[in-house]
Amino acid sequence: MSELTPLFAVLVMLAATLAMVSVWAPRRIEIKVGAVVVAFALMATTYAAMLDLLSRPKPTSFEWWTRRAAEATVVGSSFDESRAIYVWLQLDGVPEPRAYALPWDQRVAEQLQAAARTAAERQSAVRMRLPFETTLDDREPRFYALPQPAMPPKDAVRAPAQVVSPPGTNA
């Protein structure tokens, strides 16, 4: 949502500039009014389209801003067999998770399922290497489960054990 407002502001400025050019051009008044109406329709339609796109997974090939991300945490996933693998990724340094659509690949889907099972057993998270890289290198799996989190540290200082004497003894 943070990128929607600046992008829409740029669009409004461009549409307003085009409307102003058409208003000041030596044309009939009907053409000028029509140009202003079309500019407002463009703004409203673009805003509605941008809002609709916010709810849809973006293909990873369309990622521009965080394209160089080395890894991401997989918050959730869904499979549409033979069409796409949908993942909800939490990118490092980005406050909110984002939805992406990966092209369908049976091997990648199996990796993701195996990593999710392992992460559930370990009570850890699933990570994804090079989420926006389109590489054919399959030496390392793209998805993996993080190691099991470390146990909390034990109390370093404990009270000394008290010796209790059985009844009837003087100790």
In a domain, 108, yes or no: yes
Q: 76 - beta bridge partners?
A: 88
Q: What is the pLDDT of residue 135?
A: 66
**pLDDT tens-digit readout, 137-157:** 666 778 999 887 777 777 655
Task: Name 171's Cβ contacts closer than 8 Å, sequence gap at least 6.
Answer: 163, 165
pLDDT tens-place string over residues 14-58: 888 888 888 888 888 888 888 888 888 988 888 888 877 777 898
> Cα(103)–Cα(107) distance, rounded to whole angstroms?
11
Q: What is the pLDDT of residues 49-84, one digit of tens each?
A: 887 777 789 888 888 878 888 899 999 999 999 999
Instruction: Read off the tokens for 158.
Output: 């404990």
Q: Are 102 and 85 in contact (CB under 8 A)?
A: yes
Report the pLDDT value the prediction gives residue 15, as an integer from 0 to 100.
87
pLDDT average, residue stretch 94-112: 91
Whether the model pTM is above 0.75: no
Residue 89's pLDDT is 94
Identify whether 115 is part of a domain: yes
**Quick one: CA dihedral 94, 133, 55, 118, positive or negative?**
negative
Bridge partner residues of 84 (DSSP) = 80, 103
Q: Which amino acid is at 9?
A: A
C-beta of residue 68 within 8 angstroms of C-beta of residue 85: no
Reported as a pLDDT band with limits 50, 70 and 90, residue 1 is very low
Task: With a cut of 60, say whether residue 165 has pLDDT above it.
Answer: yes
Asked if 77 and 45 sit in the same domain, the reply is no
Task: State whether 50 and 71 are in the same domain.
Answer: no
Predicted local confidence at residue 115, as pLDDT: 95
Tokens of 133: 């890289």
Same domain, 72 and 114: yes
Q: Which domain holds residue 93?
A: 58-145
- Contact indicator for 146, 119 with CB cutoff of 8 Å: yes
Residue 24 lies in a domain: yes
User: Is 155 part of a structural domain of the chain?
Assistant: no
Q: What percent of the chain has pLDDT over 90?
A: 29
Structurally, the chain folds into a number of domains equal to: 2
Whether 162 is covered by a domain: the verdict is no
Distances (CA, A) of 65 to 91, 93, 94, 141: 11, 12, 11, 24
Is 63 in the same domain as 141? yes
Whether residues 33 and 64 fall in one domain: no
